Amino acid sequence: MVVTNEKSVSEAIKYRRSVRVFKNEAIDTEKVKECIHLATLAPTSSNMQLWEFYHVVSPEIIQEIAKASFDQNAAKTAQQLVVIVARKDLWRKRVQSNIDYLKTQYGNKPATEYSKREKFALNYYQKIIPTLYFDFLGIIGMLKFLIFQVIGIFKPIYRQARQSDMRIVAHKSAGLAAQNFMLSMAAVNYDTCPMEGFDSLRVKKILHLSASAEINMILGCGIRDEKGVYGERFRIPFEETYIKI
Ligand SMILES: Cc1cc2nc3c(=O)[nH]c(=O)nc-3n(C[C@H](O)[C@H](O)[C@H](O)COP(=O)(O)O)c2cc1C
């Protein structure tokens, strides 16, 4: 039997808080890396994995990013930072990786011998996904959106095909990875603070990110100081947000 002192999922969920002040105590880079690895196991739209994870361990870069994050305590006192980047622009590369993976799963046989299910999956990445992701200055996306609205009068159809919709698709999945990461950290008694309060242009420059890369979240990492959690957890009464149908 493997003995582990990691928290259960519900324990980790309850333990996780947004920590604004971290102790001046080093955390294990390998453990954080393992939590990033667990983050990549999050579900992702069409398994496109349009994300990258920048694990910042350099104290100088952390301070540069903290400055670009309005000197927030959660960044300034962090021992390490994880920057989750949405890479919608990598869609062609990810489509190819999915196709290559599917083919390895199908084995070495001619395409004519593929089953219906196998053909459907390949078609999904070869035709449907490129139809959704291909765009030019947002114009094709808008055209697709309008065409889908018309088709949608007659039958159910996927409607979110604009450039802005596809950004949301990439950010949604990146957010799930962020939550996986924070809970994995909580499970091993490490703390985090998700942040969107930063100057994205400056942080992108610091990390040498391309113009098309979009920062989803910056996560401060460390061990909570006793004054690091600003008060009790506040949530809107559950009955107000829970709707049973
Ligand atoms: C997308 C996102 C962005 C956030 N940005 C910041 C931030 O810039 N600075 C900060 O101190 N907290 C930030 N937070 C933390 C929230 O304020 C916090 O999650 C909320 O108050 C609930 O507290 P809890 O996480 O301790 O349950 C952010 C949280 C999320 C999910």
Q: Report the chain's mean pLDDT, rounded to a whole number.
A: 95
- Sheet holding 51-56: strands in order across? 51-56, 80-86, 214-222, 191-195
Amino acid 3: pLDDT: 62
pTM here? 0.94
In a domain, 219, yes or no: yes
- How many angstroms is it from 72 CA to the middle of ligand 1? 12
Nearest CA to ligand 1 atom 9: 195
Residue 173 lies in a domain: no
Check: CB of residue 98 under 8 Å from CB of residue 237.
no
The enclosing domain of 17 has a CATH number of 3.40.109.10
C-beta of residue 163 within 8 angstroms of C-beta of residue 135: yes
Distances (CA, A) of 228 to 11, 33, 56, 179: 19, 23, 21, 20
Expressed as residue numbers, the domain containing 187 is 9-87+178-230
Same-domain check for residues 64 and 96: no
Going from the Cα of 197 to the center of ligand 1, the distance in angstroms, rounded, reads 9
Q: Which residue has the CA at smallest separation from atom 6 of ligand 1?
A: 195
Nearest CA to ligand 1 atom 18: 18
Nearest CA to ligand 1 atom 4: 195
Residue in 18, 70, 214 to alter for ligand 1 test, most ligand atoms within 8 A of Cβ: 18
HEC profile of the chain = CCCCCCCCHHHHHHHCCECCCECCCCCCHHHHHHHHHHHCCCCCHHHCCCEEEEEECCHHHHHHHHHHCCCCHHHHCCCEEEEEEECHHHHHHHHHHHHHHHHHHHCCCCHHHCCHHHHHHHHHHHHHHHHHHCCCCCHHHHHHHHHHHHHHHHCCCCCCCCHHHHHHHHHHHHHHHHHHHHHHHHHCCCEEEEECCCCHHHHHHHCCCCCCCEEEEEEEEECECCCCCCCCCCCCCHHHHCCCC
| pLDDT tens column, 44-69 | 999 999 999 999 999 999 999 999 99
Question: Is 3 among the domain residues?
Answer: no
Q: Given the CA of residue 197, which atom of ligand 1 is nearest to it?
A: 8
Residue 240 lies inside a defined structural domain of this protein: no
What is the average pLDDT across 106-128?
93
- 160 — pLDDT class (breaks 50, 70, 90): confident
Candidate from 164-168, 222-226, 231-235 with smallest mean pLDDT? 164-168
CA distances from residue 14 to 9, 37, 109, 115, 233 in whole angstroms, order as listed: 9, 22, 50, 46, 10
Are 125 and 137 found together in one domain? yes
pLDDT of residue 161: 85
Residue nearest to atom 13 of ligand 1 (CA): 195
Residue 151 Cα to ligand 1 midpoint, Å, equals 40
- The answer on 143 and 130 residing in a single domain is yes
Of the candidates 119, 106, 80, 60, the residue with the CA atom closest to the CA atom of residue 223: 80
Among the ranges given (138-142, 187-191, 195-199), the one the predictor scored with the smallest mean pLDDT? 138-142
205-222: average pLDDT: 98
Nearest atom within ligand 1 for CA of residue 17: 26
Q: Is residue 235 part of a domain?
A: no
Query: Are 114 and 158 members of one domain?
Result: yes
| Ligand 1, CB cutoff 6 Å, lining residues | 17-18, 20, 72, 74, 193-197, 217, 233
Of ligand 1's listed atoms, the one at least distance from the Cα of 229 is 26
What residue's CA is closest to ligand 1, atom 27? 17
Q: What percentage of the chain reaches a pLDDT higher than 90? A: 89
